[in-house]
Structure 1
Amino acid sequence: MKLQQVLSYTRRAVDDYQMIAQGDRIAVGISGGKDSLTLLYALHGLKRFYPKHFEIHAVTVDLGFQNLDLSRIDELCRELDVEYTIVKTDIAQIIFEDRKEENPCSLCAKMRKGALNQAIKENGCNKVAYAHHKDDVVETMLMSLIYEGRFHTFSPVTYLDRTELTVIRPLMYMNEADVIGFVRKYNVPVVKSPCPADGYTRREYVKQLLRQLNQENPGVKERMFTAIQNGKMKGWEYGCNKPE
């Protein structure tokens, strides 16, 4: 996938759900994975021509794994002329060594978001962009159905009362396959997650389930996404009647 196509998807999501306002300073959460780096390219590109002026600031929460090398991401941010902050933490030690959590993902996510939000506020940002794509939207809905018994997923824009930050998800119209294609075409410097729990989660199970469903019933993922758009869930109002 070409950068121009990524920018088209991104602008459409931003416009449909009014994600960006004049003067916004947007933190881009960078994990080092394919999704977050694609988001960085997308917002950097959009910034050049979008009618509403905004700034971006990349932020990575370093969980403390010894084998995490962020030098290539730091170099990329320098090339793009994007401010970059690395937040050093001991989250990995607390989760895996001190507490020896059997199900580490929930606590890790909570601690990571706390560190991220603090850094975002310290750097004067009023919004944070997460790199959730269309597959993430549908997978979260399936997880909610299977494990919670309710029809729910995260919304395109979410205001966090406690931190007074607004979360936006500009990649929500992109398929994961699109992200993979973009990363390969442009040799994006993806950093593999060193987390020992990576790939062994409920989300990974649901990801494989959705993949199987879509293979056996072509187009089912798109239909599920349309159902979410039309489901009258809070936060999805702006895009309910937008064409796919």
Structure 2
Amino acid sequence: MSASPFDLTGRTAVVTGASRGIGLGMAEALAAAGADVIAVASSPLPEGSAVERAVTAHGRRFVGRHADFADLDAVAALGDELAGLDVDILVNNAGTIERAPAVEHPLESWKRVIDVDLTSHFVLTQKVAAPMLARRDGRVIFTASLLSFQGGITVPGYAAAKSGIAGLTRALSNEWIGQGVTVNAIAPGYIATDNTQALQDDPDRSRSILERIPAGRWGRAEDLGGATVFLASAAAAYVSGIILPVDGGWLAR
């Protein structure tokens, strides 16, 4: 009997922004499917971190790394290191968000969000994908957003960056799928994490968001696991250039 096309045994996955929230959920799902995980966070991961426990609980190898994703030189150095580690799956999930009305939005906030949420992903992917292309096998997955499709409110930098992620996904796919490297993105809906805490804490916004979600609830980090494993697996070998919403039906409303 052939192995499941979703089996990631023997594969090594890098997950950025893996210390909590969506990244932690993605890392755990990949480990459950058999992948060893290199978890990258913005600060050093303490011994016995939540992501380490989640990965090793599935009997998989865990490696922790850290980088400030606002520091593009540090991201490039991380990419050089990872390029030598036979990475099969790259999940670009690190991100930040800064909220202020557009007319008042500080340029420093704009630059930081664009660097962390878009430019750093391009820098890291250039480095890590090079050996994938050389061996004609690899998976690149970005975390996009509902704001890859919509404009959002008081988050102009974030909306611009996540729209850029959608375009970058398509552009890289056009170049790389013919060389065996698929490039896709997952667009989470409203997921209950620290990034959305301000919305969860605002009774009016939280209620209006919940009323629009056909599933009738905020998403959870583990809701992203199935899509992540699918796009990382052999089952998705002919899937590339897509932005896959995991949103409880939000975009269909």
TM-score range, shorter chain: 0.3 to 0.5
TM-score if structure 2 supplies the norm length? 0.42
Task: Please report the TM-score for the alignment, with normalisation by the length of structure 1.
Answer: 0.43
